[in-house]
Structures are given as C-alpha cells and as structure tokens.
Structure 1
Amino acid sequence: MSAPSFGIATPPSQIAYPELLRVWQEADTVPEIEHAWLYDHLLPIFGDPLGPTFEGWTLLAALAAATERIRLGVLVTSNRFRPPAVLAKIAATVDVVSGGRLEMGLGAGSRPDVPFARREYEAHGLPYWDSAEAVARLGETCALLRRLWTADEPFDVDGEYLQLTGAWCSPKPVQRLGPPLVIGGRAGRTLRVVAEHADVWNYPGGDVTDASARGALLDRYCAEIGRDPATIRRSLVVGVSYDDPAATRAHVAQAVDAGFTHLVLSLPAPYPEKVVRWVADEIVTRS
C-alpha cells in the first residue's frame, strides 16, 4: 500500500476570497500538504441560503495562478453543470495555468434525494437527470475528456448522449495524458464508471465502515473488467476538529487501516491563523 498523501478542502461558500487565498497560499508552503480542493455548488448548501458561494472552476483558476507547488482540484465537479467538451477546455486551461498540477475531480452530480440540491439546478436553468442517466452521462464524459486531451486531430462523437462534430481541445493539458481522474461516488452504477475510468476513487463522506464496503464492491467491478483494483487509489474526506485533533487523528488512522491513502482534511471556517501549519503538525505528522 502506498504512503498516505494529505490534502485540505476549503468549501468556497460563506467565506470571503481573501481568506481562501490566505489558506491556499499557506498550504503551498507546507510540504506535508500535497493537494487542495474546492467543491462544486452554485448556491449555499449550509448556512445562509442567500450567502456567497463562488463558482468552483473560476475560483480554482485564480488559486492555481496564486500558488506554485500544491496539486489542486474540485472535489468533485458536477457533470450536470457544464457541457463535457466545454469542461475539457476549462480543465485544460487550469492545467496550463497551474503548470500541470490539476487533479480532475468529477462526479455524476447531486443526488435526487438531497432536497437542497434541486434548487441550484432550477435557479440556473440546468437539467436534472435521473440517477441512471446522470451516471451514464458521466461515463461518456470520462471517455471524452481523455480523448480531447490526447487527440492529434479533431473527431466526431456519436454517443448515447453526446453528439459532437469536429471535437477538439487546444491547448492540451501540460500533463501528457491529461490530469488524473478523481471520480467521486458510492452508488453501484457510479462505481462501475470508477472501475473503468478512475485513477483515484473518492468516497463522498467520512464513514470508513461504509466506504470499505463500497470499496469491496469496486474491487469486484474491477475484477469483472480485468482491471487490477490496486491501480485505483482510494480517497476519503476527513473533517478536522480544531478542538479535538486526537479525534481527527483517530479518524485518519481508521481510514488508512482500511486502505484509504488519499486523505482530504476538510477545514471548517473561520480559519485560524497558520491553520495549515497547525494541521500538518497536529494531524499529519502525528498520524
């Protein structure tokens, strides 16, 4: 099993841009922290329903330009929000801006059983497909991203959901085969897409017991298509407690023991001064 890598997550909602910038620029100087993440919502999912929420990819581009070392991404991009070929162009642009540091987080989009999710789609005139269609579209998007990032000439697509003529992406990403695909989700249909396309699987939440059970299902799907499940790194989000770092360390240890070696430490706002250095000292180096 590979050594754990640690990142931070800063929800881009109910917060001012200078605070996010401060934390990300500090993370860029702390070698124990290897990656940093935003999320992808268009309206608040906590706190004041009319409060600020930044568009994830626009913000990510700004933070990419303001940092130099840390790998970065959106955990995870909703495949419902942007046309896939446009998303490929956005991601390639951020990879160029960052000098090849993008991790391509991607998921089917918010679940239909989450009440707050529907309002952001309705408020922005976005389609809200059922789960089966959303996951099928996710699979087509994964294949398209790879092809757009590596194709030597324009091509046409005649898929179940995607029809493109003269599809093309230039400039290409800095990373030769494109950014690694970090696919989030726990449903069986999504895990089949993970087995086929992902470099990293992110379990959406911190429940290690359930994550382990879903990981076993992912292993089975990998076996069905002849893929070594060890080629997919396992990722888990761990909420950080500033008041009880021992509990956070115990959560990290449980996740690592279960085979999750890509750990994303979610930082609650407001952010204390030197919060990333504190996380490295109190959580990472002592885990």
Structure 2
Amino acid sequence: MAIFSVQARPTDAAGWTGLARRVEAAGFDALLASDHPGHGASPFVALAAAAAVTSTLGLGSYVSNAGVREPILLATDVATLDVVSGGRARLGLGAGHTPAEWRAVGRERPDVAARVRRCVAVAEAVRDLLAGKEVTVDIPELVARAARLTELRPVQGRVPLTMGTANSTLLRWAGAHADVVGLTGFGRTLADGHQHDVRWRGDEIEAQLAHVAAGAAGRDAPPALEALVQQVTVTDDAEAAAAPIAAETGLRVADLLATPFVLIGTADEIVAAVAEHRRRWGVTRFVVRADAVDQLSPFLPRLAAVA
C-alpha cells in the first residue's frame, strides 16, 4: 500500500480550508505545512484551521526547523494541534538549512555537526515532553530546565514523528527512533539559503538507506520510508517533461525517472514507478506539493493499492 500526503501553505483562508477539504475527500493521508519562520505561515496555526474543516485527515509540520524552535514551544504547539484535531497531529522535524532563520532569532547558522546535535536533542526533548516527562537539557546546542507540559497532553498515546533529512547521522538516528524517515534527497545548501544540490543517484539513495538500516537494527519494526516528491507531472511524454529537471540536476533522464523524488509520466507509468520504488528502495510513502492534488486524485486509489 502506498500512502500519499500533501505539503502546502496557506495564502488565504478560503483557499486553505478548501484545499484541506479536497485533500481529505480525495483520500490523501495528511495535509502537511512547511515551517520557515518569516518566510511563510505558522504551520500549527494553519493546521488548526484545517482541522476545523476536516475529520480524518492527518495534520503535521513538514518539517519544523529544530535549529530555531525551542522544545517546550514546539511540544505545546503539537499537543494543542492534537487536542483541537481530535488526535490527528503529526510532527516533522529537520535540522534546518536557511541562514536567515537563525539571523532572525539573533544567531548565526551553526555548522552541520552542531545543527545535527541540536536536532537530535530537540527531537528527544519534544518526544519526552509529549509523553508527560520533565525535561532538562544542558549542552552547547540546547538548554532547557525542568520543562514540562503540566496541563496539556496529546490525545494520541504517541504523536508520529517524521525526521526529514539526508544527513547520515540523522538518518541513523531516525532509523532507530522515528516513525517515518523523510528522505529529502537534499545535498549541499546553495548560496540563496533555500535551494540544494541533490542526492538522487541510485548509489546515493542506497547509501542513505544503509544509514537508516544501520540505525534500525534491533527494532521490532523499522520506520516507514517516505520520499519528498519535487515534481509531479502527468503526461504522455515523460522524457520531454523530465529533461529540464535532468539538466538542472545533472542526471540522465532515465536516472531521474528512476528516483522516488519525481513522479512523471502517464497514470500507468506513475503507478508502475511507485510499485518499483517500493520494490527497489522500500519507499511506501510520498509527500507531494499542492499542485499535484488535481493530477493524482483521479488515480489515487490505484496508487494506494500498489503492493
């Protein structure tokens, strides 16, 4: 079974709530909101609004920047969303990559190792806070003293955690602790602070999955694998549609179409690609952007039935 969710962000009330209704009615698993403070909407406010007009749709951040989010505030947001949605909250976390987000809170973006250490510490702190534990952390990357959710607890026994990353250390941590590993395929952050090189070649994907598997060794059940899909195009000419992206990423068209980070082709070809991603990589979950909703909705039941 393949599971599809939608990542989006609101620009107006009617459009956002309308999208939430459409996503739920079409059979998508969740509506996910990106989290870039100062560059877009607050995910948890937006998701609470979506909760008010839906009844079964999962709702989560994708992903919150652990570098600039404090655990007690993040845990409070997640628990509140879970309460107002009747137990439908998800939490997506990542180490963050946009320098402007650190400068906006009065800091410079740390190096990769420090961002990873903070991300792990934040993930563990939020997990414990949502479980009702008191949390004290005192490391160079994070300080929290006697933090606790005293009057607010999630409806769910465990809020599902997705770690979105391509970093080897975080992939291993996610393999050991997360419910879902969000494979971003991101490489080096480019000069604009938003765009990335990509790690989409077969050997690069295999290396990422090896880190997840190493972390998951000893778990009763490994985490689900989820791909962040950058382009969905339903077309009769997959090669022509893929050519500009292949040129931009430095991949051959055939190699691009073989990655789980794009879904390009006819409905039959996309269904076959999803089945192949499950067989080859073990990827069973996909996050697509809002512009893919209308394209995929007509054959979403076929995608969900992929074995």
- Using the size of structure 1 for normalisation, the TM-score is 0.78
Q: Deviations over 1:82-126 (max 9, x none)?
A: 11111111111111111111111111112xxxxxx3234434545
Which ranges of structure 1 fall in alignment gaps of 5 or more residues? 45-52, 111-116
CA 1:227 to 1:283, structure 2 compared with 1: closer, same or farther past 3 Å? Answer: closer
Q: Structure 1 residue 58: deviation in Å?
A: 2.0
Instruction: Give 1 or 2: higher strand fraction.
Output: 2
Q: Structure 1 residue 279: deviation in Å?
A: 5.4
For 2:144, what is the secondary structure of its paired residue? strand
Query: Is the contact made by 1:156 and 1:164 (CA closer than 8 Å) also made in structure 2?
Result: yes
User: Which range moved further: 178-187 or 199-208?
Assistant: 199-208
Q: Structure 1 residue 193: deviation in Å?
A: 2.1
- C-alpha distance in structure 2 between counterparts of 1:127 and 1:280, whole Å: 43
Which position in structure 2 is the counterpart of 1:23? Answer: 19
For 2:152, what is the secondary structure of its paired residue? coil
Q: Pick the aligned partner of 1:222 from 213, 216, 221.
A: 216
| Alignment map for 1:65-214 (pairs within 5 Å) | 65-110=52-97, 117-123=98-104, 125=106, 127-151=108-132, 154=134, 156-169=136-149, 170-176=151-157, 178-205=158-185, 207=200, 209=202, 210-214=204-208
Which position in structure 2 is the counterpart of 1:49? Answer: none
Query: Is the contact made by 1:81 and 1:126 (CA closer than 8 Å) also made in structure 2?
Result: no
Q: Structure 1 residue 172: deviation in Å?
A: 0.7
CA 1:89 to 1:200, structure 2 compared with 1: closer, same or farther past 3 Å? Answer: same
Query: Is the contact made by 1:143 and 1:197 (CA closer than 8 Å) also made in structure 2?
Result: no
- C-alpha distance in structure 2 between counterparts of 1:284 and 1:266, whole Å: 17
- C-alpha distance in structure 2 between counterparts of 1:253 and 1:20, whole Å: 31
Q: Pick the aligned partner of 1:249 from 234, 258, 271.
A: 271
| Percent of aligned pairs with the same amino acid | 28
CA 1:155 to 1:43, structure 2 compared with 1: closer, same or farther past 3 Å? Answer: closer
- C-alpha distance in structure 2 between counterparts of 1:123 and 1:144, whole Å: 23
Q: Structure 1 residue 179: deviation in Å?
A: 0.5
Q: Structure 1 residue 148: deviation in Å?
A: 1.0
| One-letter amino acid matched to 1:234 | L
| One-letter amino acid matched to 2:87 | G
CA 1:69 to 1:83, structure 2 compared with 1: closer, same or farther past 3 Å? Answer: same
Q: Structure 1 residue 242: deviation in Å?
A: 4.3
Q: Deviations over 1:212-252 (max 9, x none)?
A: 331122212333xx335x42111112332144443543442
- C-alpha distance in structure 2 between counterparts of 1:102 and 1:131, whole Å: 29
Which ranges of structure 2 fall in alignment gaps of 5 or more residues? 186-198, 236-264
Query: Is the contact made by 2:63 and 2:164 (CA closer than 8 Å) also made in structure 1?
Result: yes
Query: Is the contact made by 1:208 and 1:255 (CA closer than 8 Å) also made in structure 2?
Result: no
Q: Structure 1 residue 285: deviation in Å?
A: 5.8
| One-letter amino acid matched to 1:211 | I
| One-letter amino acid matched to 2:128 | R
Q: Pick the aligned partner of 1:8 from 3, 6, 9.
A: 6
Query: Is the contact made by 2:172 and 2:213 (CA closer than 8 Å) also made in structure 1?
Result: no
Q: CA RMSD in A?
A: 2.8
Q: Deviations over 1:159-185 (max 9, x none)?
A: 453333331113111111x30111011
2:224 is aligned with 1:236: no
Q: Structure 1 residue 281: deviation in Å?
A: 5.5
Query: Is the contact made by 1:78 and 1:109 (CA closer than 8 Å) also made in structure 2?
Result: yes
Point out which structure has higher relative CO (alpha carbons under 8 A, 6+ apart).
1
Query: Is the contact made by 1:27 and 1:276 (CA closer than 8 Å) also made in structure 2?
Result: no
Q: Deviations over 1:126-165 (max 9, x none)?
A: 542211111111111121112111236x454444533333
Q: Deviations over 1:43-87 (max 9, x none)?
A: 55xxxxxxxx32222212221222210112111111123111111
CA 1:39 to 1:18, structure 2 compared with 1: closer, same or farther past 3 Å? Answer: same
- Using the size of structure 2 for normalisation, the TM-score is 0.74
Q: Structure 1 residue 259: deviation in Å?
A: 0.6
- C-alpha distance in structure 1 between counterparts of 2:135 and 2:211, whole Å: 35
CA 1:156 to 1:221, structure 2 compared with 1: closer, same or farther past 3 Å? Answer: closer
